[in-house]
């Protein structure tokens, strides 16, 4: 799965961290400098590496962001990579465009931001409906990916509480060499103990729901064998079938009816 670099002002970090958590629950690798940089590591070197290793940059534009020389340098680095076809750039307007007061910026910066907003589709963030705005960011992020994941949800299906992982396809079919090209390893999201903050938790079964491509389901579920009890949605019968079970769960073959 491609990595997302989150470019933002630290003054906006509450909202940015909510988006970060939503991305991680959607099985997206996300890079953010105030969580990733170890003490003593050079900020410039770390941010440059973070951008160069990412396939997406989500830039959270606000008055705070546009008046920060550091943030604007990040945005210009990202835009340069975008122009060279090395990065997808997704601007998110945390303030309404009129509130950004572009006319108060130095002329070169004003011209750059105006060009960027005319050239690239952006998401307008509604601070009064953050969940809807975060969903819009995720939708735009996934628009160019063959396989798309929704944020993991904890749900109870037919009396069994599971971690529900829903995925969809953004194409009628997948290329035959898809797995050779797909930059995704679900292992990176599976918690290994109770203190691990990865989104796929330790104690609950996992349920997959999505378009039934056998080899894709196999690819996604095999890493869970002997580590989690796993259910897979059966579109024909509209229920979930247990394909892997931990010994103490004793659920292999059990079906969960969807009401």
pLDDT in tens, 32-75: 876 444 444 566 777 777 888 899 999 999 999 999 988 999 99
Q: Rounded CA gap, 235 and 212, in Å?
A: 7
Rounded to two decimals, the pTM is 0.89
Helix axes 107-119 and 69-83, enclosed angle (nearest 10): 40
Q: Rounded CA gap, 150 and 210, in Å?
A: 10
Q: Rounded CA gap, 32 and 70, in Å?
A: 14
Beta-carbon count within 10 A of 194 CB: 8
**Backbone φ, ψ for residue 256 (5° rounding):** -110, 115
pLDDT in tens, 95-133: 988 888 888 888 989 999 999 999 999 999 999 999 999
* 142, burial (CB in 10 Å: exposed 0-12, middle 13-18, buried 19+): middle
Q: CA of 242: how far to CAs of 95, 112, 221, in Å?
A: 46, 54, 11
* Residue 186 confidence (pLDDT) above 90: yes
DSSP string of 194-209, one letter each residue: TT---SB-SSS-EEEE
* Residue 176 confidence (pLDDT) above 90: no
Q: What angle do CA 70, 72, 77 make, to 5 degrees?
A: 100
- What residue spans define the domains of the chain? 3-142, 147-257
Residue 202 structure tokens? 């330790």
pLDDT in tens, 139-174: 999 998 999 999 999 999 999 999 999 999 988 888
**C-alpha 170 chain-centroid distance:** 16
Find tokens 């995925």 and name the residue.
167
Q: Rounded CA gap, 257 and 203, in Å?
A: 22
Q: What's 3-142's CATH class?
A: alpha beta
């Amino acid at each position: 799965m491609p990595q997302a670099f989150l470019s933002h002002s630290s003054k906006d970090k509450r909202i940015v961290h909510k988006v970060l958590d939503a991305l991680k629950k959607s099985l997206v690798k996300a890079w953010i400098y105030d969580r990733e940089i170890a003490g003593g590591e050079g900020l410039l070197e770390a941010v440059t590496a973070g951008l160069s290793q990412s396939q997406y940059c989500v830039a959270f534009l606000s008055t705070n962001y546009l008046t920060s020389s550091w943030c604007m340098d990040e945005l210009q680095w990202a835009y340069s990579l975008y122009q060279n076809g090395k990065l997808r750039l997704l601007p998110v307007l945390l303030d309404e465009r009129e509130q950004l007061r572009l006319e108060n910026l130095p002329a070169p910066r004003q011209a750059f931001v105006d060009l960027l907003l005319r050239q690239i589709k952006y998401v307008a963030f509604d601070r009064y409906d953050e969940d809807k705005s975060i969903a819009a960011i995720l939708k735009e992020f996934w628009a160019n990916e063959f396989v798309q994941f929704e944020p993991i949800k904890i749900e109870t299906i037919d009396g069994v509480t599971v971690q529900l992982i829903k995925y969809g396809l953004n194409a009628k079919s997948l290329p035959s060499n898809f797995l050779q090209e797909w930059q995704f390893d679900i292992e990176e999201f599976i918690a290994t103990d109770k203190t691990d903050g990865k989104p796929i938790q330790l104690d609950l079964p996992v349920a997959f729901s999505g378009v039934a491509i056998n080899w894709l389901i196999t690819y996604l579920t095999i890493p869970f064998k002997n580590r989690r009890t796993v259910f897979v949605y059966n579109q024909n019968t509209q229920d979930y079938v247990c394909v892997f079970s931990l010994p103490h769960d004793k659920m292999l073959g059990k079906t969960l009816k969807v009401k």
